[in-house]
């Protein structure tokens, strides 16, 4: 039996496709939502879901939650005297869902379609697949969460022809997908996201406000009291759906604290989070080459979209009311529909679903700055939001005289500097020594719907070929660490780059490069190389003139 699973940050659930429709599967408590929480009690007994969530209130050091954000990284969780990785914790949640499904359906469940945030990288997707395998499930497909939600929303009316933006704000991640429905075709045009933005962050804002109002330093609280504050903040946050003020009451260190929380004040404090949401939305619309007016419908998914401030933000931004869909169950229903499509169920066998590559895939190259060749430049081969499956080939040449081998680094990311992108692997091929630029290699990247990347490097003159298939693995750097490195680029330490105007200009260029694709990236890269060369001369007047030229280039690109 094949089931669809929404493996969420806060809650998870499963569904199947039978009798011509998706059907939600209740857990052992008769509920559809299973908390994504794992704990180990004092006797070494493993707890998952509701029981683990309850146990975590009194024993926070023996429980783990929000571990989805750490998928594909080296982070470990200590539960008592036991140590677990994120994929192992996720596997326990998946096994619990599998057992509940088998009891409900009355048959063995051996296969699954599992959803992930659209902005999960290759390591995070592979970690999710490994979690499924550990749980005893053969993962037939990894599907993007907003794509699954769009399936649940759009397949009810086969005559629908419209562009849809799926706004998916869950407990720990935020995704946006822009899709088009046309007859029996569901085509994804663009995806964007933030893997460290979700409902938990909105709760933390309220918890921080409470502590500030009561003049309590967060570091003065132990984990149990921190959990109490977060739980009270979650309750208060939910109450804002019905009232403009809410009383937070918490027992801390023997003292009963009562504080009135104001919705308007809370909205102001959440503005930085809303700004991050806006940037993701703008990127997705720009990548889809659309205008706001060309979006026909907005679909809200994820429990955090119930927050009044989020709905108010979406209505104000798009100038209309979003479509009604169950934000908690839509992704699981869509995953179940994908099961039906895969098994070619009669009602939906003709449905065609296309998806896109969420991140740019490329390699490292040398580029001339006008004086000498610089290494550490990123060459995109498959641009983000390219429809998959896809295959692209680039021809590269030797960079040095008498070069006897070429190392092809397989990278994923949006930074113009190769070292700031995620390393997926590498291929080394021998080439006949000779003058610089004489020998060449053809590099072919092929990416499919199951997130498998095949890389083939062929030496043109000898026909020697090397191939590898990237299926993920343990990444040395998490996405958060990559972002931190991006913010600490080496040029910030060099004079006169320490000057604020130059620093901001270069950071703006880095941001624009990540936001753009295609020819614009080449223009930005070349313009920044020229400006960096001027900076090395340390002629302040020339730097000022070059800075104005660079700013004008950025303005022209942003103004398109």
Asked if 464 and 437 touch (Cβ cutoff 8 Å), the reply is no
pLDDT at 181: 84
User: Residue 347: pLDDT band by 50, 70, 90 thresholds?
Assistant: low
Q: Which pLDDT score, from 0 to 100, does residue 158 have?
A: 54
Predicted pLDDT at 487: 46
- Is residue 427 within a helix (H) or strand (E), and if so which, with residue range? strand 422-430
Mark out the alpha helices in 321-412 (DSSP H runs). Answer: 330-342
Q: Of 92-101, 267-276, 551-560, which range is least confident?
A: 551-560
The residue with greater pLDDT, 512 or 23, is 23
Per-residue pLDDT at 110: 95
pLDDT tens for each residue of 108-149: 999 999 999 988 888 899 899 889 988 889 999 999 998 898
Mean pLDDT of 67-78: 93
Residues 6+ apart with CB under 8 A from 312: none
φ, ψ (nearest 5 deg) of residue 500 = -60, -40
Question: Quick one: average pLDDT of 389-403?
Answer: 94
240-244 contacts: CB < 8 A, separation 24 or more?
240/266, 240/307, 240/308, 240/309, 241/306, 241/307, 241/308
**pLDDT value at residue 350:** 64
How far is Cα 6 from Cα 330, in angstroms, rounded to an integer? Answer: 9
Q: What percent of the chain has pLDDT over 70?
A: 92
Q: 27 is written with which tokens?
A: 């857990």
Whether the per-residue pLDDT at 364 is higher than 60: the answer is: yes
With 50 as the cut, is the pLDDT of residue 226 above it? yes
Give the dihedral of Cα atoms 210, 212, 218, 219; nearest 10 deg. Answer: -160
Least confident of 43-57, 61-75, 162-176, 380-394: 43-57
Average pLDDT, the chain: 87
Beta bridge partners of 380: 362
- Burial class of residue 279, CB neighbours in 10 A (0-12, 13-18, 19+): middle
526: which strand partners? none
Q: Which residues contact 279 (CB under 8 A, 6 or more apart)?
A: none
Q: Which is higher by pLDDT, 47 or 430?
A: 430
Of the two residues 502 and 560, the one the predictor is more confident about is: 502
Report the candidate in 534, 530, 524 with the shortest Cα–Cα distance to residue 557.
524
Question: Active-site residues: which are they?
Answer: 6, 68, 145, 168
Selected residue with higher pLDDT from 88 and 351: 88
Distance CA 515, CA 414 (A): 8
Q: What is the 3-state composition of the chain as percent helix, strand, coil, each rounded to the nearest 5? A: 40, 30, 30
What pLDDT is attached to residue 485? 39
Q: Is the dihedral angle over the CA atoms 327, 331, 332, 337 positive or is it negative?
A: positive
Give the integer Cα–Cα distance in Å for 298 and 486: 32
> Of 169-173, 322-326, 434-438, 509-513, which range is least confident?
322-326
Long-range own/partner contacts, residues 321-324 (CB < 8 A, 24 or more apart): 322/167, 322/297, 322/298, 323/153, 323/297, 323/298, 323/299
Question: Sorting pLDDT into bands at 50, 70 and 90, what band is 486?
Answer: very low
Q: How far apart are CA 547 and CA 120, in angstroms?
A: 36
70 has a pLDDT exceeding 80: yes
Contact 431, 403 (CB under 8 A): yes
pLDDT confidence bin for 488, thresholds 50/70/90: very low
C-beta of residue 124 within 8 angstroms of C-beta of residue 115: no
Predicted confidence at residue 348, as pLDDT, reads: 62
Q: Are 50 and 36 within 8 A, CB to CB?
A: no
Query: pLDDT at residue 315 above 60?
Result: yes
Angle at 22 (CA atoms; ends 16, 23), nearest 5 degrees: 65
Whether 378 shows a pLDDT value over 90: the answer reads yes
Asked if 126 contacts 472 with a C-beta cutoff of 8 angstroms, the reply is yes
- Contact yes or no for 383/358 (Cβ under 8 A): no
Instruction: Please tell me the predicted confidence (pLDDT) of residue 157.
Output: 55
> Is the distance from CB of 299 to CB of 322 less than 8 angstroms?
yes
For 163-203, the pLDDT digits (tens) are: 899 999 999 999 999 998 887 788 889 999 998 999 999 99
Check whether 321 has a pLDDT greater than 80.
yes
Distances in Å between the Cα of 389 and the Cα atoms of 386, 447, 466 are 9, 6, 21
Secondary structure E strands in 56-104: 63-65, 76-79, 82-85
Q: Give the bridge partners for 425, in sequence order.
A: 410
Q: How far apart are CA 88 and CA 83, in angstroms?
A: 10
Distance CA 468, CA 122 (A): 15
| Range 206-216 average pLDDT | 95
pLDDT tier at 494, thresholds 50, 70, 90: very low
Q: Given a cut of 60, is residue 498 above it in pLDDT? A: no
């Amino acid at each position: 039996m094949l089931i669809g699973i929404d493996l969420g940050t806060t809650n998870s659930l499963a569904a199947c496709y039978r009798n011509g429709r998706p059907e939600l599967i209740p857990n052992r408590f008769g509920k559809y939502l299973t908390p994504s929480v794992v704990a180990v009690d004092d006797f070494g007994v493993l707890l998952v879901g509701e029981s683990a969530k309850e146990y975590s209130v009194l024993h926070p050091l023996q429980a783990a939650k929000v571990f989805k954000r750490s998928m594909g990284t080296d982070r470990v969780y200590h539960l008592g005297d036991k140590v677990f990785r994120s994929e192992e914790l996720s596997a326990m949640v998946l096994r619990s869902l599998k057992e509940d499904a088998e009891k409900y359906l009355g048959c063995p469940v051996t296969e699954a379609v599992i959803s992930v945030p659209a902005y999960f990288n290759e390591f995070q997707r592979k970690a999710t697949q490994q979690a499924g395998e550990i749980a005893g499930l053969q993962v037939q497909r990894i599907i993007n969460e907003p794509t699954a939600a769009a399936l649940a929303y759009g397949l009810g009316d086969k005559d629908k022809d419209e562009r849809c933006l799926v706004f998916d704000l869950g407990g720990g991640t935020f995704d946006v997908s822009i899709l088009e429905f046309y007859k029996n075709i569901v085509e994804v045009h663009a995806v964007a996201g933030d893997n460290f933005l979700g409902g938990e962050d909105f709760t933390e804002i309220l918890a921080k406000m409470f502590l500030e109002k009561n003049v309590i330093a967060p570091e003065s609280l132990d984990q149990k009291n921190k959990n109490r504050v977060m739980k009270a903040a979650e309750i208060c946050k939910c109450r804002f759906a019905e009232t403009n003020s809410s009383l937070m009451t918490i027992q801390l260190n023997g003292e009963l604290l009562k504080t009135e929380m104001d919705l308007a004040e809370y909205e102001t404090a959440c503005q930085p989070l809303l700004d991050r949401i806006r940037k993701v939305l703008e990127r997705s619309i720009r990548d889809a080459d659309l205008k706001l007016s060309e979006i026909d419908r907005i679909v809200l998914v994820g429990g955090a979209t119930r927050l009044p401030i989020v709905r108010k933000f979406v209505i104000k931004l798009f100038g209309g009311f979003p479509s009604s869909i169950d934000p908690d169950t839509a992704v699981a229903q869509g995953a179940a529909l994908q099961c039906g499509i895969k098994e070619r169920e009669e009602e939906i066998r003709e449905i065609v679903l296309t998806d896109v590559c969420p991140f740019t895939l490329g390699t490292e190259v040398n580029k001339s700055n006008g004086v000498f060749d610089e290494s550490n430049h990123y060459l995109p081969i498959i641009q983000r939001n390219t429809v998959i499956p896809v295959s692209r080939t680039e021809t590269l040449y030797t960079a040095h005289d008498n070069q006897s081998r070429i190392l092809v680094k397989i990278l994923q990311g949006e930074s113009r500097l190769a070292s700031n992108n995620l390393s997926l692997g590498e291929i080394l091929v021998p080439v006949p020594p000779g003058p610089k630029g004489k020998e060449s290699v053809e590099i072919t990247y092929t990416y499919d719907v199951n997130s498998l990347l095949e890389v083939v490097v062929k030496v043109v003159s000898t026909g020697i070929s090397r191939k590898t298939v990237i299926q993920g693995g343990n990444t040395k750097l998490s996405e958060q660490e990559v972002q931190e490195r991006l913010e600490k680029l080496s040029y910030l330490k060099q004079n006169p780059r320490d000057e604020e105007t130059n620093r901001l200009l270069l950071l703006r260029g880095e941001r624009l490069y990540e936001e753009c694709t295609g020819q614009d990236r080449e223009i930005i890269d070349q313009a920044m190389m020229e400006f960096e060369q001027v900076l090395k001369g340390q002629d302040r007047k020339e730097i000022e003139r070059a800075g104005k030229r660079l700013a004008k280039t950025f303005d022209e690109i942003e103004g398109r």
